[in-house]
Structure 1
Amino acid sequence: MAAEQHTRDNGVKRRHRQEGPQKHVMIFVLSAVLTLIAFAAVAAGDVNPVFAVILLLVMALIQVFVQMGFWMHLKDKGHMMPIIFMLGGFLIAGTCIIMALYWVWWD
């Protein structure tokens, strides 16, 4: 891994680890494999529809965490506020979806 040295005021050198391109390639391949698994489940045709929907939802959830963690760098320090705002947005959107479904199916 590539390392960069930083000097503090007291003269102590510390190393700062950087992500190399190999990690980005690995995450890209993981994203492509997850997409291929989801595509294969739908393209197979003879797969149970309930299983296919559950598999698609699980693959989508994994994709969301991979995308936000690595491509949006939310796994790094100092990103707590964007995470909190995203979770708040998901909570509000989920509440609106549940309310809309409840309203549509109200007898």
Structure 2
Amino acid sequence: MTTKQPSSDSAVKHRHRPEGPQRHIVVFVFSVVLTLIAFAAVAAGGINATFAIILLLVMAVLQVFLQMGFWMHLKDKGHMLPIIFMLGGFFIAGTSIIMALYWVWWD
């Protein structure tokens, strides 16, 4: 009986562990909670308008990171090019908005 010896070319391969639904469920629940908090902040009406706007913007940014990281799988390897293009788009859009506001309110 002969036994196969592993060749020096074959390295130990690490198996990719499937993600499973657990993380997606947690992220979905977190997204729903953020949405409910935003709805409650606006529906309550007793909150300062500036605080409500800041709260909504912070929760919107959190939602964007959650959506892109988990639902669009940008947290996985091999997605650097789409991330670079999106960051470039965010930079151009942000610069355009800032310049438009500056242009409108500049005396």
With the shorter chain as reference, the TM-score category is 0.7 to 0.9
What is aligned with 2:97? 97
Could you say what the CA RMSD is over the residues aligned between the two structures, in angstroms? 1.4
What is aligned with 2:46? 46
The structure with more radius of gyration: 2
Q: Give the TM-score, by structure 2 length.
A: 0.86
Q: Structure 2 regions of 5+ residues with no counterpart?
A: 1-8
What is aligned with 2:18? 18
Q: Shift of residue 13 of structure 1?
A: 5.1
Q: Which runs of structure 2 are paired with 1:61-76 in the superposition (5 Å)?
A: 61-76=61-76
> 2: CA distance between counterparts of 1:18 and 1:80?
21
Q: 1:11 to 1:84 in 2, by over 3 A?
A: closer
Q: Shift of residue 14 of structure 1?
A: 3.1
Q: Structure 1 regions of 5+ residues with no counterpart?
A: 1-8
Q: Give the TM-score, by structure 1 length.
A: 0.86
Identity %: 79
Runs of 4+ in 1 over 4 A off after TM superposition: none
More moved, 97-106 vs 57-66? 97-106
